[in-house]
Structure 1
């Protein structure tokens, strides 16, 4: 029992200071690096608000009183060809983002419901692209031989196509029904080879590492080698590639809708709104600016977050 006033021994006085600090996991290092990056934080905050806005689209439209398909003829001047009444495209307390020319549909309602469509298609494309790219890339890199030759030639074949032109041609020839599903299938069909090529190279490198050779020598089956030894070491490249694929998929969907082969009216879509605004930008520039700004900020935020995530993963692997 210590006597009052008697100094404690150094080791006892230091306590926790002398014990080694628990090493940070790679996940914590990555999160910490992202939290210190102001651009990454700003991008994550915007994307979080956008997701909340998309999920709460029915509530938002219920609060404003205007749905994405409701016409407000009183908000447009029919004598001037349907130009919105008031300043800045009819922005006011009744319509916070203004209204569309001619029909008077509420732009805020179209934006929030269009966000649901864009994000759902982009995430679905990323998921399908990821599954196809990872599975086929790992098969090619692990088994090599004729399996690698078949998959690699298929990748080369698809990557040689001018993807946008063939997407337009394919979607133009298909019926308009279930257009979101068709968009996901077509965009993913041209997108998976880029991920598969990266995964193939990484798998080849990992398959020759000592820990895989040791597991193979101990009698591990191919399934165990792929899912227990190789796949966990591909989480970094898969995460980065998937994060960077989302903005590309959003831009592709918007571009196809802009060209008239994407989401069909009256379903709201940012690309469709931008396409419709082209003939009105001189008299109602806000009709172009608002959906264009949302599309630009969404793609920019996803690109910045994906780029910062790649740097954080690279730094985490170097520190490990």
Structure 2
């Protein structure tokens, strides 16, 4: 569930090429490969739906006539302990995916707002992880010596650290305010070493290649070598690692929220909804199934897209 789980079994990555390929040609080849894969197409369509739900969550609430925290006592039966009225968890024309037991909050609206918070945290953590991992990986691989030693030992320490236990302890001790920001910081602290290690290894390989040596012999400085020769050849690796990081962070955020140390109520979160549904799944299984299906589908779709993207980039590099 933690960030270490995301990267323990690292995917095979595109080998560093001997020179930067034209971005336009590579992009066209990748898109052509992805369009041929029905799994990638379906996964992308589902992800587009999730992103639209996250972006237009307030509009969905307006159309549904309910806010994420609006109680609807008329939608639950108090005589039955607060169970939703009707079948399938209270699915009706007023509540398209049913309602939560006891309070009658609309599940569709809370799913949309939960998608917003999950995507916001996951994408923000991925961007911060990518920046830190790429910068430190490049520095370690390019300069070597004591710079490499310091950064590599820091990576080893963080990768060996029990990340999940530390996350739970830190988030439990810190105040609930600005919890999404704290989640982004904590996830990034334990996430960047995995990308940095891959970038470092490929930078070491690229530094000894002929085109880098030729640029150095022609008088190019360190900045030019890094940004003009090495970094463009790490593009495929960074894209693949970044794409595969997002589903890991979504799952980690949901897991922490499930344990009660992630996003705090009344902010909607998929993990929080699943945690609340545990005591109801025998009498109202839809309350568990619907947010669980959205979480599972999103993580699966992102993983499929990341895997297919890796294969497409491999094919593009081979051609």
- Could you say whether these structures have the same fold, taking a TM-score greater than 0.5 normalized by the shorter chain as the test? yes
Indicate the residue corresponding to 2:223 in structure 1: 223
Indicate the residue corresponding to 1:32 in structure 2: 32
**1:87 pairs with 2:87:** yes
Matches within 5 A, 1:111-122: 111-122=111-122
In structure 1, stretches of 5+ residues that fail to align are 1-23
Q: Distance in 1 between matches of 2:300 and 2:161?
A: 27
Could you say which structure has the greater relative contact order, defined with CA pairs below 8 angstroms and 6 or more residues apart? 2
Cα shift at 1:195:
0.4
Q: Distance in 1 between matches of 2:247 and 2:129?
A: 13
Give a deviation string over 1:205-249, Cα, whole Å, max 9, x none. Answer: 111111111111111111111011100000000000000000000
Misfit runs of 4+, over 6 Å: none
Aligned length: 296
**1:124 pairs with 2:134:** no
In structure 2, stretches of 5+ residues that fail to align are 1-23
Q: Distance in 1 between matches of 2:236 and 2:128?
A: 18
Q: Distance in 2 between matches of 1:286 and 1:161?
A: 38
Q: Distance in 1 between matches of 2:98 and 2:116?
A: 20
Q: Distance in 1 between matches of 2:294 and 2:106?
A: 16
Indicate the residue corresponding to 1:134 in structure 2: 134
Q: Distance in 1 between matches of 2:294 and 2:250?
A: 11
Q: Distance in 2 between matches of 1:162 and 1:35?
A: 40
Cα shift at 1:112:
0.4
Cα shift at 1:127:
0.1
Partner-residue secondary structure (3-state), 1:59: helix
Cα shift at 1:79:
1.6
Answer with 1 or 2: which has the greater Rg: 1
Indicate the residue corresponding to 1:184 in structure 2: 184
Give a deviation string over 1:118-146, Cα, whole Å, max 9, x none. Answer: 00000001000000100000000000000
Q: Distance in 2 between matches of 1:161 and 1:84?
A: 44
Q: Distance in 1 between matches of 2:308 and 2:224?
A: 32
Cα shift at 1:275:
0.3
Q: Distance in 2 between matches of 1:268 and 1:274?
A: 11
Indicate the residue corresponding to 1:173 in structure 2: 173
Q: Distance in 1 between matches of 2:35 and 2:77?
A: 49
Q: TM-score, normalised by structure 2?
A: 0.92
Cα shift at 1:166:
1.1
Q: Distance in 1 between matches of 2:89 and 2:310?
A: 41
Give a deviation string over 1:160-208, Cα, whole Å, max 9, x none. Answer: 0121111111111111110000000001100100000000001001111
Partner-residue secondary structure (3-state), 1:90: coil
Indicate the residue corresponding to 2:56 in structure 1: 56
Partner-residue secondary structure (3-state), 1:88: coil
Q: Distance in 2 between matches of 1:26 and 1:72?
A: 52
